[in-house]
Chain A
Amino acid sequence: MNANITKIATGTPSERRKAEITKDFIKSFSIILVFLAICVLFTSLNQYFLTWNNWLNLLRQSSINGILAIGVTFVILTKGIDLSVGSVMALAGMLAANLVTTGNEHLVIWSILAALGTGAVVGLANGVLIARINVPPFVATLGMLSMARGLTLIYSDGRPIANLTASLRWIGSGNILGLPVPVLIFFAVFLIGWLTLSRTTFGRYVYAVGGNEKAARTSGISTRTIIAATYVICGLLAGLAGLVLTARTTAALPQAGIGYELDAIAAVVIGGTSLSGGRGSLVGTLFGALIIGTINNGMDLMGVSSYYQQLLKGAIIVLAVIADQIRK
């Protein structure tokens, strides 16, 4: 590593360029190494861990948190936070479910649009509060966490909605070419999100606004619009996650998604995205979500009590961030 830094400073141009690239590689891929290390550990502890079926299961379990975490990454990159995603999931799931129960048979597409629309509208409300009225993101979304939960309870009168049509349930339990639908949705969202952040002007502006809002404004970027848009994206994906959760549990529960925002934020942070904005990537978030999923899955396999699981998961989150600090 030292020799590498020396090359950056003193080597010939081509040597320098190579050294830079190696450095970048190490930087963005340390999270993958952590993930692999955890996999190796569980493989050695449990023979069932490294089987195809278990991995399908693990990916299915990670997909809802993964979809949420991708949305939250956009928000955190702009130096914001969204605490309302768990409640938005429940509200979106409830509205979506009500359209496709027996006796209330609409096409499933209306159900999907209702979920996404609900998420987007709540996200827009967050965005307007934060970017227009200058309410701090923590406060605005904390308020929304409570309001969206309240709306869910009022709308459902505290009762779950079951008897969903098969087409909606398929979103949670179906397969395409042997792959579970939630996993395919997760990967599709990741791909679109990754392209957006790394290849589009909007993605660049997200990084610029989070890195230095004033400089972004000086450079002619409509910073308020960009910030509001990230909350809309985050809300939209929370709506999608709510739809998948409802389909998987085959019922919309008024208490669904409680505490999900914390796992989503944890995935983003483990993935190396900075809470102070401007730095991070969706590749990191993808592996952050997979690490959390793997830990849950591995400990389930080993029969660790869920009380200990909580404790260990917390410790691993803190350790991941410490490792990140040391690397820097």
Chain B
Amino acid sequence: MTTGSVTFDTTLHSTTGHGLLLEADGVAKAFHGVPALRNGHLKLRPGTVHALCGGNGAGKSTFLNIVMGLLRRDEGSIKIKGEVVDFRSASEALDHGIAIITQELSPVLEMTVAENIYLGREPKRLGAFIDFALLETQAQKLLDDIGFPIRANARMSNLSLAETQLVEIAKALSFDADIVIMDEPTSAIGEHEAHILFAAIDRLKHRGSGIIYVSHKLSEIFEIADEFTVFRDGNYIVSGSMKETTRKELVTHIVGREVKVVEKERPNAGAPILLEVRNLSRESEFKDISISVAAGEVFGIYGLLGSGRTEFLEAVYGMETPTSGEVMLAGRPVPRGKPRESIKMGMAMVSEDRKDSGLVLSSSIAHNITLSALSLMAVSGFVKQQKEREVVEEMIRSQRIKTSSSELAVENLSGGNQQKVVFARCLTTNPRLLICDEPTRGIDEGSKQEIYAFLRDFAAKGHGVLVVSSEAPEILQVSDRIAIFKAGTLVDVIDGHGATQQMIMELAS
């Protein structure tokens, strides 16, 4: 790593021939006596993409943090290119050629893309003045080499979330690392950007780097990974070649038992219409969209990032006000832009980002669960504690939220459990229509299937579900009908029974 001209080298890197890039064995770490990782084991070969799989709490993050020098291990050994190491800081790891791309974005919004990429490593004139011209050329070359369609002189604040994520990736790659760790790199980007990323990963692979790839999206892992390692409950379970495993086998390793894939049955034909959306438009976001959801139906919406799918859901629910069109629930018009009224009429929304709009992280599980229905449990403004406790306990039981106490702040729960709290909150108002935006984002495979089963059950009781997902397998698995969104318009509505991944992806792109 130098501050001089860092170019994106496409030739084979000067590693020690055929040796392993990284070899970890028996790595263990405990927090306050509670083991988070018991036996971390992983072998990374040059020129491969290695998927590190496991549910929430499997010990992946602890393991990666140790490799990156953010945590010190208690036991075990880590060798980088044959050399035993024990990093005390992230910069030591960086000096050994380890770079990381995390899901947490940290851009300086008022700077340009180039300034962000080389922050703290700017090329200088006379040792003090930043050479902006060189900085920009250098950054543009890096972006072009990895094939990211971004201008180096663009201001960060003008970039979309997906582009910001790509810049973070470019920044990590600018360190010219041999080992690149990617922790859920596609969680904030759409399928199109994901494929730009995969092409870049491919190039990295061919120049001899090794990539440790973490993702809950199994279809991605099967698309780009060569090898895999599974952790479960802090233990190493198995490693192998992706070519020799199946989706089902991998899921069984991750979850520790066979996961039943939810079967869907066709809803009754001729069921009454629950939700009707007529010619709904919102300036520059989506236009003239009409759909209807019948009682007993799960209605899926599939579209790429920027197709207007989230904006559409928010307008139906009332988080945003549409510019024209109308929404009817069970034949009655829903007031515009008033989530409070929508809830009263029988809607509930599981929003896209738990941390951003789903939960009050600093509040307890109990207070989050009853937030929407609190006025129903109160007499002249005072909350009936006994009633509230009953509702909370019932929800914790029925949603299978794993916690020692309902008084615990939600921020202490795993992603899967947090999402169950969001569902619980939505259910306390007894909704007839559940609106879900990416209901399984960042959730492990076992919990995903539980959520699918729940959505099917909910609809089977004569309710309706309107669900958006950017994961094609997910939308295919849960939906009775699928609407395809593209650039703010409704392209088609197809039957969800018998549709294929290829069909919907072609329609959407």
Residues of A within 8 A of B (CB): 2-3, 5-6, 8-10, 13, 16-17, 20, 24, 199-202, 204-205, 207-208, 211-212, 214-222, 274, 278-279
Name the distance in Å between B343's Cβ and chain A's nearest Cβ. Answer: 4
Name the distance in Å between B142's Cβ and chain A's nearest Cβ. Answer: 35
Partner of A219 from B34, B371, B382, B408 at Cβ < 8 Å: B371
Name the distance in Å between B246's Cβ and chain A's nearest Cβ. Answer: 35
Please tell me if the beta carbons of B407 and A20 are within 8 angstroms of each other in the complex. yes
List 8 tightest A-B contacts by C-beta distance, closest first. A211-B360, A220-B343, A214-B357, A16-B404, A278-B362, A220-B340, A5-B32, A219-B372
Name the distance in Å between A7's Cβ and chain B's nearest Cβ. Answer: 9
Please tell me if the beta carbons of B360 and A8 are within 8 angstroms of each other in the complex. no
In the assembly, what is the distance between CA of A10 and CA of B234, in Å? 15
Considering the complex, give the chain B residue whose CB is closest to the CB of A5: B32
Please tell me which stretch of B77-85, B110-118, B373-381, B440-448 contacts chain A, meaning at least 4 of its Cβ atoms lie within 8 angstroms of it.
Answer: B373-381
Residues of the A chain whose Cβ atoms lie less than 8 Å from the Cβ of B359: 212, 215
Considering the complex, give the chain A residue whose CB is closest to the CB of B370: A204
Please tell me if the beta carbons of B340 and A222 are within 8 angstroms of each other in the complex. yes
Partner of B408 from A10, A20, A200, A212 at Cβ < 8 Å: A20
Please tell me if the beta carbons of B367 and A208 are within 8 angstroms of each other in the complex. yes
Please tell me if the beta carbons of A218 and B339 are within 8 angstroms of each other in the complex. yes
Partner of B371 from A3, A214, A216 at Cβ < 8 Å: A216
B498 within 8 A of A: no
Name the distance in Å between B55's Cβ and chain A's nearest Cβ. Answer: 17
In the assembly, what is the distance between CA of A5 and CA of B35, in Å? 12
Residues of the A chain whose Cβ atoms lie less than 8 Å from the Cβ of B375: 201
Partner of A202 from B356, B381, B404 at Cβ < 8 Å: B381
Flag B340-370 by CB within 8 Å of A: 1 or 0 each. Answer: 1011100001010000111111110001001
B319 within 8 A of A: yes
B3 within 8 A of A: no
Please tell me if the beta carbons of B360 and A215 are within 8 angstroms of each other in the complex. yes
Between A and B, 28 residue pairs with Cβ closer than 8 Å are: A2-B32, A5-B34, A8-B404, A17-B404, A20-B404, A20-B405, A199-B382, A200-B381, A201-B374, A201-B375, A201-B381, A201-B382, A204-B383, A208-B371, A211-B360, A211-B361, A212-B356, A212-B360, A212-B361, A214-B356, A215-B351, A216-B371, A219-B339, A220-B342, A220-B344, A220-B429, A221-B340, A221-B371
Assuming the A-B contacts A17-B404, A201-B383, are A9 and B34 also in contact, with contact meaning beta carbons closer than 8 angstroms in the complex? yes
In the assembly, what is the distance between CA of A265 and CA of B103, in Å? 36
In the assembly, what is the distance between CA of A10 and CA of B381, in Å? 39
In the assembly, what is the distance between CA of A212 and CA of B375, in Å? 19
B33 within 8 A of A: yes
Assuming the A-B contacts A9-B34, A208-B363, are A200 and B383 also in contact, with contact meaning beta carbons closer than 8 angstroms in the complex? yes
Assuming the A-B contacts A201-B374, A204-B367, are A220 and B361 also in contact, with contact meaning beta carbons closer than 8 angstroms in the complex? no
User: Besides A201-B378, A208-B367, A218-B339, 4 other CB < 8 A contacts?
Assistant: A13-B404, A202-B381, A219-B372, A278-B363
Partner of A200 from B362, B378, B407 at Cβ < 8 Å: B378
Residues of the A chain whose Cβ atoms lie less than 8 Å from the Cβ of B349: 218
Considering the complex, give the chain A residue whose CB is closest to the CB of B371: A219
In the assembly, what is the distance between CA of A274 and CA of B340, in Å? 28
Residues of the B chain whose Cβ atoms lie less than 8 Å from the Cβ of A212: 356-357, 359-362
Assuming the A-B contacts A199-B382, A204-B374, A208-B367, are A2 and B33 also in contact, with contact meaning beta carbons closer than 8 angstroms in the complex? yes
B425 within 8 A of A: yes
- Which residue among A9, A199, A211, A218 has the maximum number of chain B CB atoms within 10 Å of its CB? A218
Please tell me if the beta carbons of A278 and B360 are within 8 angstroms of each other in the complex. yes
Name the distance in Å between B156's Cβ and chain A's nearest Cβ. Answer: 23
Residues of the A chain whose Cβ atoms lie less than 8 Å from the Cβ of B344: 220
Considering the complex, give the chain A residue whose CB is closest to the CB of B360: A211
Please tell me if the beta carbons of B404 and A208 are within 8 angstroms of each other in the complex. no
Residues of the B chain whose Cβ atoms lie less than 8 Å from the Cβ of A207: 360, 362-363, 367
Residues of the A chain whose Cβ atoms lie less than 8 Å from the Cβ of B381: 200-202
Please tell me if the beta carbons of A218 and B367 are within 8 angstroms of each other in the complex. no
Name the distance in Å between B97's Cβ and chain A's nearest Cβ. Answer: 35
Please tell me if the beta carbons of A6 and B360 are within 8 angstroms of each other in the complex. no
Residues of the A chain whose Cβ atoms lie less than 8 Å from the Cβ of B372: 219-220
In the assembly, what is the distance between CA of A5 and CA of B412, in Å? 13
- Which residue among B339, B344, B351 has the maximum number of chain A CB atoms within 10 Å of its CB? B339
Assuming the A-B contacts A5-B32, A208-B363, A208-B371, are A218 and B358 also in contact, with contact meaning beta carbons closer than 8 angstroms in the complex? yes
Name the distance in Å between B425's Cβ and chain A's nearest Cβ. Answer: 6
Assuming the A-B contacts A17-B404, A20-B404, A215-B357, are A199 and B383 also in contact, with contact meaning beta carbons closer than 8 angstroms in the complex? yes
